[in-house]
C-alpha cells in the first residue's frame, strides 16, 4: 500500500514539475495570486473602515506593485541578466529612452521618503492646484481645485512624478477649512475711500463675528505648526493706487473657506454702496 502511494506521488510530481518549472506559468500564477490577495485586502478595508479608506487602498496598491516587481524580477533574474549582457552596447540609448520613467520612479522614491503631502491634502505643484487623490510610481493624481474660489473644478490632473522633482510643492491643506482670502476693488480717484473705511471695518468685523473664536484658535494652530506668524484673524483693509492712478482697496479676511466668496460679495456690495453714496455727496 505504501509503495503504491509513493508511486502515485512520484507520478504526480513528475506530471506537475514540468508545469512549475515553466517560468511563464509560474509568473502568471504568482501575478494572479498576488492580485487575488490584493482584491481580498481591499474588500476587507472597505468593509472594516469607514474613514480614510482611499489612503489605505492607495498604500496597498503601491505595496502590491513593489512586491510584484520584486517577485517577477527574481523569477526572471537569469534571463534578465543574460538580456542585460546582450544589450550592453545599447545601454546608453536605453537609458536615454527610459529617462522619463527613471525620473518618475526617482520622484516616487523622493515623495514616499520625504512625505511633503498625504492623500486628501490640498497642494500646489508649479501652477497646478488640487487635492491629492492617489500616488503611484509613475504619476500623481490630483482633483483640481480653483484656488481663487476654493472649490473643485471637476477636472482630474495627472502629473508625472518627474515634475515633482523639478517643481516646488506647496502644502495648502490648512486652506481646506480656513483661508487667508485676499481680494482687490479698483475704482477711479473721484472718491476718497478713507472717508468710509471705518464703516467697512465695522462691516467686515460683523461678517466675521460668528466664527471669530474658532478663527483665533485655528490661526494659532497654524502658527504653531508652521512656526511662523501669519496675518489674522482680524480683517485688514488697505488703500493703495494702481499704476494708472486709480484707487485700489485691498481686503484680507481670515475666514472659513466655504464663506470666503460670500463675504467677498457682501463687502464688495457694501463698498459700492458707500462709494456711490460718497460720490453723490461730493458732486
- Chain segment 36-63, per-residue pLDDT in tens: 988 888 888 888 877 777 788 888 888 8
- The secondary structure element, H or E, covering residue 256 is strand 247-256
Q: What percent of the chain has pLDDT over 90?
A: 9
Q: Average pLDDT, stretch 179-189?
A: 87
Task: Classify residue 144: in a domain, yes or no.
Answer: no
Task: Classify residue 130: in a domain, yes or no.
Answer: no
pLDDT band at 283 (very low <50, low <70, confident <90, very high): low
pLDDT at 272: 92
Q: Who has greater pLDDT, 215 or 195?
A: 195
**Residue 8 scores a pLDDT above 60:** no
pLDDT at 88: 66
Task: Classify residue 25: in a domain, yes or no.
Answer: yes
Q: Average pLDDT, stretch 13-33?
A: 68
Distance CA 253, CA 53 (A): 34
Q: Average pLDDT, stretch 179-185?
A: 86
Domain count along the chain: 2
Q: Who has greater pLDDT, 112 or 12?
A: 112
Domain extent at residue 38: 2-86
pLDDT at 13: 45
Report the half-sphere exposure of 39 (CA within 13 A, side-chain side).
6
Could you read off the pLDDT of 154-166 as tens digits, one per residue?
A: 899 998 888 888 8
pLDDT at 3: 52
**Residue 269 scores a pLDDT above 90:** yes
Last residue of some domain: 42, 57, 86?
86
Task: Classify residue 260: in a domain, yes or no.
Answer: yes
H helices within 49-127, ranges in order? 53-75, 77-86, 91-97, 99-114
**Residue 21 scores a pLDDT above 90:** no
Task: Classify residue 24: in a domain, yes or no.
Answer: yes
Residue 173 has a CB neighbour count (10 Å cut-off) of 15
Measured at the CA of 105, the angle between CA 101 and CA 96, to 5 degrees, comes to: 30
Q: What is the mean pLDDT of the chain?
A: 80
Sign of the Cα torsion 272, 274, 277, 280 reads negative
Task: Classify residue 167: in a domain, yes or no.
Answer: no
Distance CA 191, CA 282 (A): 8
Q: Average pLDDT, stretch 95-105?
A: 79
User: What is the C-alpha end-to-end distance of the chain, expressed in Å?
Assistant: 118
Strands 151-160 vs 139-146: parallel, antiparallel or unpaired = antiparallel
Last residue of some domain: 54, 86, 118?
86
Q: Average pLDDT, stretch 24-32?
A: 83
For residue 124, the cross-strand partners are 129, 170
Last residue of some domain: 24, 52, 86?
86
Task: Classify residue 97: in a domain, yes or no.
Answer: no
Task: Classify residue 93: in a domain, yes or no.
Answer: no
pLDDT at 77: 78
Amino acid at each position: 500500500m505504501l509503495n503504491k502511494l509513493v508511486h502515485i506521488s512520484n507520478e504526480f510530481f513528475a506530471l506537475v514539475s514540468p508545469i512549475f518549472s515553466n517560468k511563464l506559468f509560474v509568473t502568471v500564477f504568482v501575478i494572479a495570486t498576488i492580485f487575488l490577495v490584493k482584491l481580498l485586502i481591499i474588500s476587507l478595508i472597505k468593509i472594516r473602515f469607514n474613514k480614510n479608506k482611499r489612503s489605505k487602498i492607495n498604500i496597498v496598491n503601491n505595496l502590491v506593485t513593489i512586491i510584484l516587481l520584486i517577485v517577477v524580477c527574481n523569477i526572471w533574474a537569469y534571463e534578465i541578466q543574460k538580456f542585460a549582457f546582450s544589450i550592453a552596447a545599447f545601454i546608453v540609448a536605453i537609458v536615454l529612452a527610459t529617462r522619463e520613467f527613471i525620473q518618475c520612479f526617482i520622484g516616487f522614491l523622493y515623495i514616499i521618503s520625504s512625505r511633503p503631502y498625504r492623500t486628501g491634502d490640498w497642494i500646489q505643484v508649479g501652477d497646478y492646484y488640487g487635492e491629492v487623490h492617489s500616488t503611484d510610481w509613475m504619476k500623481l493624481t490630483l482633483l483640481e481645485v480653483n484656488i481663487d474660489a476654493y472649490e473643485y473644478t471637476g477636472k482630474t490632473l495627472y502629473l508625472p512624478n518627474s515634475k515633482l522633482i523639478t517643481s516646488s510643492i506647496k502644502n495648502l491643506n490648512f486652506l481646506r477649512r480656513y483661508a487667508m482670502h485676499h481680494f482687490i476693488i479698483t475704482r477711479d480717484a473721484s472718491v476718497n475711500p478713507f472717508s468710509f473705511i471705518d464703516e467697512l471695518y465695522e462691516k467686515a468685523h460683523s461678517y466675521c463675528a460668528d466664527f471669530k473664536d474658532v478663527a483665533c484658535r485655528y490661526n494659532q494652530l497654524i502658527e504653531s505648526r508652521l512656526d511662523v506668524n501669519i496675518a489674522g484673524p482680524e480683517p485688514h483693509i488697505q488703500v493703495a493706487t494702481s499704476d494708472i492712478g486709480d484707487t485700489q482697496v485691498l481686503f484680507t479676511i481670515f475666514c472659513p473657506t466655504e464663506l470666503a466668496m460670500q463675504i467677498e460679495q457682501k463687502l464688495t456690495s457694501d463698498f459700492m454702496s458707500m462709494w456711490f453714496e460718497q460720490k453723490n455727496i461730493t458732486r
